[in-house]
Amino acid sequence: MSELFGTNGVRGIVNEDMNTDLALRLGKAIGTWIGKNKTVAVGTDTRVSNQMLKNAVSSALMATGNDVIDLGEVPTPAIQYYTRKNTDLGIAITASHNPPEFNGIKCINGDGTELIGDMEEEIEELYFSKNFELVEWNEVGQRTSDDPLELYKKAIKKKIDIKAIKEDEPKVVIDCANGAGCCLSPYLLRELGCDVVSLNAQPDGSFPGHESEPTKENLKDLIRLTKETDADLGIAHDGDADRAIFIDENGEFIHGDKILTLIAKEMVQEKGGGTVVTPVSSSSSVEDVVRENGGNLIYTAVGSPIVARVMKKEEAIFGGEENGGLIFADHQYCRDAAMTASKIVEMIVKEDRLSSLLEDLPDYILKKRGVECPDDLKVRLLEEVKKEFEDEDYDDTDGLKIYYDEGWVLIRPSGTEPKYRVYCEAQDEEKAEMLVSEHQDRVREILKELR
């Protein structure tokens, strides 16, 4: 496993493992890796430590002879779109859904996708070896600034039927979680023709409204406000606004796998087939609707960068994860909350209310649990888990996915936190609860034996 990079960049607690020394050193490694005389876009979410880390990374990039364009506090997908259109590389200073004491550094390739695999390994090697290539005094890079939001909004608007939305004027409540979506989503939705009610739409890196992970527990105010205002839809973002979670017109929280399945079905029907890509952690409902409508499904390891790369390689039309991070190939190869929100708004005005659209989908119960696990025990724990279930029908694309007659269980190490994830799916609540509890307990027991 990588010593530095997780599934979505480098993350840690500010001024502990995520500090200015790390940011400066990583910036030098990135700048050395891309070579001098390049242009790098750098943007942040709203976290308190964003300026501190952005300045350290930017200084290092300039020291290696590269120019920096400061994009300010903006959604990560806006940084990715700007990078693809205008620069050689991009960097997002964000820890996405993690608590406010965390921050992170995410690298974006020139095509707008996140760096993975060999590229991260090469940067990591430079980071640890400190073989940095700093330029002479008269070759250092310069820093300018730009606003990527108009370019980004224009790209989304091209893909959406604005006329249909303006004719219907749906009422939408948007919860920006005091994160990067504050500067974009309420304005975009209003420009599309929605009657917008905003919640937690003031940028604040301490996340006073609620924690930045858009879970049901954290979205109680959004659920209440959606019902009280008789809104047609509620929308929630995470801290860097690359994920979208929805509340239907009845105030019901909609799990991300339902929206992934719904849009996968819509996209395959629109295109008359095509390939959809999703991780092994996704609900079987995605495969059901894709195949029923003449499409092809490819499973990958967990992580949106992996999904995006496979989508590009296989010329897929759509992809995404069950956490609300969806990827539209004809827009850009990354998770995009604003695009997802716009698409769902378009669907409810052109087709039916969200609750009605979801009624036609296959019904599975998907559950997720966590088990705290130190990073240095993750590899050994997985080895023991594989031994434990070696006689079962399984898939080891990412961790271990075990298939049973009544459903499946996925056990895998988190790429962003010191824990193991335990996912489970079955066709009824009782079986799902039984499976996830049994396997969570067994993982804890194995971990206890390793300590």
Any idea what the CATH number is for the domain that residue 40 is in? 3.40.120.10
Same domain, 200 and 140: no
Q: Which residues are within 8 A (CB) of 197 and not within 5 positions of it... i.e. 6 or more apart?
A: 171, 172, 173, 174, 225, 229, 231
Residue 8 confidence (pLDDT) = 74
d(CA 263, CA 246): 13
Contact of 389 with 435, CB cutoff 8 Å: no
Same domain, 338 and 215: no
Residue 347 domain flag: yes
Position 359 confidence tier, pLDDT thresholds 50, 70, 90 = very high
Residue 2 confidence (pLDDT) = 64
Largest CA distance in the chain: 68
Taking 70 as the threshold, does the pLDDT of residue 1 lie above it? no
H or E segment to which residue 350 belongs: helix 337-350
Same domain, 25 and 134: yes
Contact of 366 with 255, CB cutoff 8 Å: yes
Where among 225, 252, 279 does a domain terminate? Answer: 252
Residue 159 domain flag: no
CATH number where 428 lies: 3.30.310.50
Helix (H, G, I), strand (E, B) or coil at 422: strand
Same domain, 34 and 126: yes
Contact of 218 with 210, CB cutoff 8 Å: yes
Q: Compute CA distances 28 → 58, 61, 136, 383, whole Å.
A: 9, 6, 14, 36
Where among 211, 226, 252 does a domain terminate? Answer: 252
Same domain, 48 and 125: yes
Residue 33 domain flag: yes
Name the residue range of residue 142's domain: 10-148
Same domain, 241 and 328: no
In this prediction, residues 72-79 reach a mean pLDDT of: 98
Mean pLDDT over each residue of the chain, to the nearest integer: 96
Q: Which residues are within 8 A (CB) of 429 and not within 5 positions of it... i.e. 6 or more apart?
A: 365
Same domain, 82 and 133: yes
Beta strand 407-413 pairing with 400-404: antiparallel
Instruction: Give the number of domains in the chain.
Output: 4
Residue 154 domain flag: no
Contact of 39 with 84, CB cutoff 8 Å: no
Residue 308 confidence (pLDDT) = 95
Same domain, 19 and 133: yes
Residue 4 domain flag: no
User: 236 pairs with which residues across the strands?
Assistant: 175, 245
In this prediction, residues 410-437 reach a mean pLDDT of: 92
pTM of the model as a whole: 0.93
d(CA 87, CA 316): 25
| Residues forming the active site | 96
Same domain, 326 and 280: yes
Where among 252, 282, 301 does a domain terminate? Answer: 252
Same domain, 127 and 75: yes
pLDDT in tens, 88-144: 999 999 999 899 999 999 999 999 999 877 899 999 999 999 999 999 999 999 999
In this prediction, residues 177-199 reach a mean pLDDT of: 98
Residue 204 domain flag: yes
Residue 312 domain flag: yes
Q: Which residues are within 8 A (CB) of 53 and not within 5 positions of it... i.e. 6 or more apart?
A: 14, 18, 20, 23, 44, 93, 103, 105
Same domain, 101 and 43: yes
Same domain, 179 and 299: no
Taking 80 as the threshold, does the pLDDT of residue 56 lie above it? yes
